[in-house]
Structure 1
Amino acid sequence: MAAAFQQQIFALDARFNAYRAPNNPSFKTLYIRRRSQLLRENSKFKDIDTIKKYLHVRSQLLQRRYGVQDNISLCSSSSRARSTSKASLATDDFPVNTKKKNDMTISENYAFTGVHHIFDQHVEQVSVVKFANNDKSKLACASHDGSISVCDVTATPPAVTAVLRGHTKPVTDVDWSAMNELLVSCGLDGALCLWAAPAARRLRRVPDPRGRALHAIAFQPSNNNMVIAGNDRGMVQVVNISTGIYPRGGSSVLGGIVTSIACESSGRMFWAANDKGLIVSYVVSGAGALSKLRRLALRGAVSCISWSPWLARHPALLVNANDNSLYLFRIADRDGSLVLKKRFDIHHSSHSIRSTFCPIMSFRRGVCVVSGSEDSCVYFLDIEGHAEQPVVNKLQGHAAPVLGVSFSYDESLLATSDVTGLVIIWRRG
């Protein structure tokens, strides 16, 4: 209950933080970080009626102080009474599925309600956050301020260990190499940059051969000398990052703006998506040559695709599209054909929203994915359950659309980012 109380108060303060000291963004960030610290130190309230009264009074005071109406107030007078024995606070804004015991078990498994740390080193939106492979201490954040920050999340206190500057325009994507010794990034300046992560040093800068803006990047899993990139002229291209050479046959026309790339773990096949709603599977040879396999068209622009082996079940692709949808596809064959399994409603119409599979979902009851949303929330969705309400947890701590989401490999930490540049690290409750 203490963790849920902390989250609700933090979410309320974050929502009104946009009105505090409008000409002093540093103060706003300092305030919300200090508020989070105080809540962690003093979250000892156990009486649910006292908590609900506190939320209501604080919401009213903040509305009067800043002269705005909180249309999505956390403590509404119309909230229905719920059981006080649950670990989560009961309000209409924090729905708890009490119909099935299994649903509650899933909710408890994915109770990321505590705020571990808040990073505020970026002054513009952070579109991508990505934990290192099998290392929960390292987190990369790609920002539209033209930089990439590398954070040590498990240090005491957590800290920014490096800020990588080499792009002249917004950074749109970033990826870790298999052993985490390298980072690759791309940006609207048309540059693909390779970084030595431990030394915070740029090793290579490779321009797009047509001088076009780059929107998506990924290491080829079986050969980290190869990187797959997508630009705003619809070109999917393979580049040897060690030499800066684009191999013969290593480019293909997808069309539109290539917005996302996802590779299967073997490196044989990957999928690329664009802003026209088209998803195409590709096979890549050892020399870097590309061949198109299968295609699928959606109604909305795709902003993110992610792959999962789903272990004993079947491989799957998770897709965010700006028709307010999160799609789950089953990968039906070795050609990457996609069969729709489920669709979920997500607030997504204009921003580049991302989602991810929970990395060790097979070891827990239920199977969940996590997605950002334009309503400033982070949603945990049960993709195997049959309940009408698939949301098993909702985090409210951002005061702006949530763009990036990333799990640490052991699921102990979750990183989320928003359009203001704020990055929140959540810990398992």
Structure 2
Amino acid sequence: MAAVWQQILAQDARYNAYRLPGSPQFRTQYIRRRSQLLRENAKIDHDPIIRKQYLKVRGQILGQRYGTSLSEQGSVVYMYLDTYSSQRSRSASKCSSRLTLDREEGDFRGHRRYHSSGSGKFSLPSPTEDGLVPTRAAEASRAMVGDKTLDENYAFAGMHHIFDQHSQAVMAVKFANDDKARLACCSLDGTLSVCQVIPEPATVLCVLKGHTSGVTDFSWSLSNDMIVSCSLDGTVRLWQVPTGTCLRVVGDCDGAEIMSCAFQPVNNNMIVTGNKKGFVHVLNFSTGKYVKGGSSKASGSILTTTFESGGKTLWIGDENMTTYKFTQESCQNNMLPFLDTKTIIEKDGNLQFEVYRKPTHTDQYLAFDSHHPLEHKLAVIKTLFHRADNVITSDEAKTEEHRHLRVALAKCGYQNWTFNKALKPSDQSKKTLKCRPLTNRNKVNITIPYVQGVSEKLRRIFQNFNIATNFKPHSTLRQKLVHPKDRPEKGIKANVIYKLKCEEPNCNNVYIGETSRPLKERYKEHCRKSANRYSSAIYHHLKHNQGHSFNLESTDILDREERWFERGIREAIYERMYNPALNRKGGLRGCVYSFAFDIGTGKLSRAQRLVVCEGHPITCISARSWMSREARDPSLLINCGANALCLYSYPTRKPHPGSPFNRLQEYASRVSGVEGSLQLKRKFPIKQRNLRIRSGFCPLMSFRQGACVVSGSEDMSVYFFDVERTNKPVVNKLQGHSAPVIDVSFNYDESLLASADSEGMVIVWKREQRS
């Protein structure tokens, strides 16, 4: 009777758009759970007539509950209008059917079609401010878990079991989805292990072997029958958990070490990977090919990837390391030029090497009559002839290169005696050195400007006192000649670090920033209000201080740097030098990127780049939708290597209040889940500087007053934090590891907690029994 349960699921899916319009994540979770229950019940033999009757009755109940037929497909705006009509009708009449359960649980939960009677002004209800966690008035939520405090709820009775099957650091540990018995972990020893923790005794079910280097991350599939893993060997592997076999192996398209991976929560055929070169890719494991348009670039090695529960937004965190750009030359006529070397492929396959000069090469070297010490000029001859002797393989080409160098240097004023002096055989130089006294142990080195006829005499004098003297050019043409080009305007300069100072005589406020665009474009952004993100501190300064002004012409350009990361370093240095009052936080980056994920095609489009931590890697991101009546804003839990665990909220973007159209836009943004900027809610102290410490949300936090997060730490402890406490947020601290704790994971009912450390030990902790 598999067809009947599929029809029931299809019926639920059609009505899913009408459930909780303001919380799309809950709708996805509901459909998943319904699918799981229906599949399990389909295995049990029941009367087919009863199942068909259930299908018919459920369709009638859903139709009465939501007041619409299966064929009706309303848009977001119509849904909002119907919801508003439903709220007005409920306020006018307090008699309601028992089929409209949970109608009063939110502003947009009920959906029923009503015809408006009469005319009048159409006014929309104002949006409600959502809190972060359930409040004290949330009696229904607290009743689901009891009246215990957070300290009592997260009290542990001791260790349930200790696993030590791995010989190196365990990088990740995760319980299976909606399964409190199965646990998996990956290690730098190149293996993964799947364990069963209950019933006792706990055992290792299987060890997944196949990676040739350390495994950095893995992820469970939605049905828990597959595991995807990534490794430092540059491959992604798909494992079948029941049999422990590897189904597919795909190499990284950039040939780099893969640092993180994750299943797409809605479509498990799609897998997202992040590699050490800073590229994020979408892989279709059904075809074994990377999705076209499913790649993007971050500024450093991608250490963590995670989806929000709906699967439409992808978050990644980078290590922010320097990236390098390489050029590529093509092989033509069996010759491959690279830098100053030309490789020649002969017919028999042998390789010959020659010195390569581009067609634009001018053979201009340091002129002999220039104001430089003689040793610098002799060094030019030694360097060029040394290259010819060591790069060129054939005698004919070597002789031709020597002749070419003598002609080119003769044009620069070099005489024959300079070649004889510079190319003196090395054995004669060694004999001369052996005759000198060995007094180099305590010799002092100094560098003085070179003045012809004077510096040489000073060297001879200093040599008697065991002082080695080096010369540097004192007078050059660059210093003597004026610049032939006109100075460019400040407004068109790009890739600069700049300083803006308020023109008011009694105001000493300064702003320091950097930009890759022309300075005048960045200056205009500073002076106007931003509609899509936070406005500049300069805009707020001008808004609240009448008569104050900034001038582009008086802007000081402090430095110039083409590369983004190095420019951030210099910005940070200048911020510490000047201590500007208008800067929020700048300089070195530690970035979180958000991408819009197209579930159908797997394409990525970057939404935001958010600077979270200065100069420290983002090692873990956990996304969670806080599903309760009192807490609707999604949240991010971020580990950064700055001894801090940060909790951010990313509320839905709210347009400016005003016209009914803007209010409709606001509701549409809530339904579609468009995220705004991150807002820091809490910062918790942990020890993290060098390792990839991970953290996570406690599964049942949305049903309690307050909420907890749990994190590993380099001080060998597991920390529990209450996100609502400003003073002493630590709820509990577990000590038992002998090495830094890298990752932690709860099972779905919080009865067990697993923690893994850098020496390969995994401890499973058990909660105290609730009364």
Shared topology, TM-score over 0.5?
yes
Q: CA deviation at 1:211?
A: 1.1
| Aligned pairs (5 A) from 1:292-371 | 292-297=606-611, 298-299=613-614, 300-312=616-628, 313=631, 314-333=633-652, 334-335=674-675, 337-371=677-711
CA distance in 2, matches of 1:182, 1:337: 34
CA distance in 2, matches of 1:292, 1:332: 18
CA distance in 2, matches of 1:252, 1:315: 24
Cα pair 1:185 1:194 within 8 Å, conserved: yes
Letter in 2 for 1:199: T
Q: CA deviation at 1:385?
A: 2.3
Cα pair 1:294 1:336 within 8 Å, conserved: no
Cα pair 1:115 1:426 within 8 Å, conserved: yes
Q: Is 1:129 the counterpart of 2:448 in the alignment? A: no
Match of 2:592 among 264, 270, 279: 279
1:199-241 CA distances to partner (integer Å, 9 max, x unpaired)? Answer: 1110000100111000110000110000000000000110001
Equivalences, count: 327
Letter in 2 for 1:256: G
Letter in 1 for 2:684: F
CA distance in 2, matches of 1:318, 1:261: 12
Match of 2:208 among 156, 164, 173: 164
Q: CA deviation at 1:270?
A: 1.1
**Unpaired stretches in structure 2, ≥5 consecutive residues:** 1-146, 321-589, 653-673
1:170-209 CA distances to partner (integer Å, 9 max, x unpaired)? Answer: 0000100001010000010011000001111100001001
**Unpaired stretches in structure 1, ≥5 consecutive residues:** 1-102
Q: CA deviation at 1:255?
A: 2.1
CA distance in 2, matches of 1:181, 1:157: 23
| Aligned pairs (5 A) from 1:96-111 | 105-111=149-155
CA distance in 2, matches of 1:152, 1:119: 11
Q: Is 1:221 the counterpart of 2:561 in the alignment? A: no
- 2:605 corresponds in structure 1 to 291
SS of the aligned residue for 1:172 comes to strand
CA distance in 2, matches of 1:403, 1:135: 22
Letter in 1 for 2:593: V
Letter in 2 for 1:282: F
Letter in 2 for 1:404: D
CA distance in 1, matches of 2:271, 2:676: 20
Cα pair 1:136 1:410 within 8 Å, conserved: yes
1:64-89 CA distances to partner (integer Å, 9 max, x unpaired)? Answer: xxxxxxxxxxxxxxxxxxxxxxxxxx
Letter in 1 for 2:213: K
Cα pair 1:112 1:414 within 8 Å, conserved: no
1:292-325 CA distances to partner (integer Å, 9 max, x unpaired)? Answer: 0011112221110001101131100000000111
SS of the aligned residue for 1:135 comes to coil
Letter in 2 for 1:425: V
- 2:252 corresponds in structure 1 to 208
Letter in 1 for 2:604: L
Q: CA deviation at 1:122?
A: 0.3
Q: Percent identity?
A: 51
Q: Is 1:393 the counterpart of 2:437 in the alignment? A: no
Q: Is 1:268 the counterpart of 2:312 in the alignment? A: yes
- 2:54 corresponds in structure 1 to none
Q: CA deviation at 1:336?
A: 5.4
Letter in 2 for 1:264: E
TM-score normalised by L of structure 1: 0.75
CA distance in 2, matches of 1:373, 1:268: 31
Structure whose residues are more often helix by fraction: 2
Cα pair 1:186 1:214 within 8 Å, conserved: yes
CA distance in 2, matches of 1:416, 1:112: 13
Letter in 1 for 2:760: G
Q: CA deviation at 1:104?
A: 8.4
Structure whose residues are more often strand by fraction: 1
Letter in 2 for 1:320: N
- 1:235 corresponds in structure 2 to 279
- 1:15 corresponds in structure 2 to none
1:115-143 CA distances to partner (integer Å, 9 max, x unpaired)? Answer: 00000000000010000000011111100
CA distance in 2, matches of 1:206, 1:353: 27
CA distance in 1, matches of 2:676, 2:308: 10
Letter in 2 for 1:375: D
Q: CA deviation at 1:407?
A: 0.5
SS of the aligned residue for 2:181 comes to strand
Letter in 1 for 2:225: E
Q: CA deviation at 1:114?
A: 1.4
Q: Is 1:377 the counterpart of 2:691 in the alignment? A: no
SS of the aligned residue for 1:136 comes to coil
CA distance in 1, matches of 2:302, 2:694: 15
- 1:153 corresponds in structure 2 to 197
Cα pair 1:293 1:336 within 8 Å, conserved: no
- 2:754 corresponds in structure 1 to 415
Cα pair 1:184 1:217 within 8 Å, conserved: yes
SS of the aligned residue for 2:217 comes to strand
Q: Considering only CA atoms, is the larger Rg found in Structure 1 or Structure 2? A: 2
Letter in 1 for 2:594: S
SS of the aligned residue for 1:362 comes to helix
- 2:533 corresponds in structure 1 to none
| Aligned pairs (5 A) from 1:48-127 | 105-127=149-171
CA distance in 2, matches of 1:280, 1:209: 21
* Cα distance change of structure 1 residues 195 and 336 upon mapping to structure 2, 3 Å threshold: farther
SS of the aligned residue for 2:649 comes to strand
CA distance in 1, matches of 2:231, 2:735: 29
SS of the aligned residue for 2:289 comes to coil
- 2:584 corresponds in structure 1 to none
Letter in 1 for 2:643: N
- 2:222 corresponds in structure 1 to 178
CA distance in 1, matches of 2:172, 2:157: 21
CA distance in 1, matches of 2:266, 2:148: 39
Q: CA deviation at 1:156?
A: 2.2
| Aligned pairs (5 A) from 1:134-145 | 134-145=178-189
Q: CA deviation at 1:112?
A: 2.4
Q: CA RMSD in A?
A: 1.4
Letter in 2 for 1:391: V
SS of the aligned residue for 1:248 comes to strand
Cα pair 1:376 1:402 within 8 Å, conserved: yes
SS of the aligned residue for 2:293 comes to coil
- 1:25 corresponds in structure 2 to none
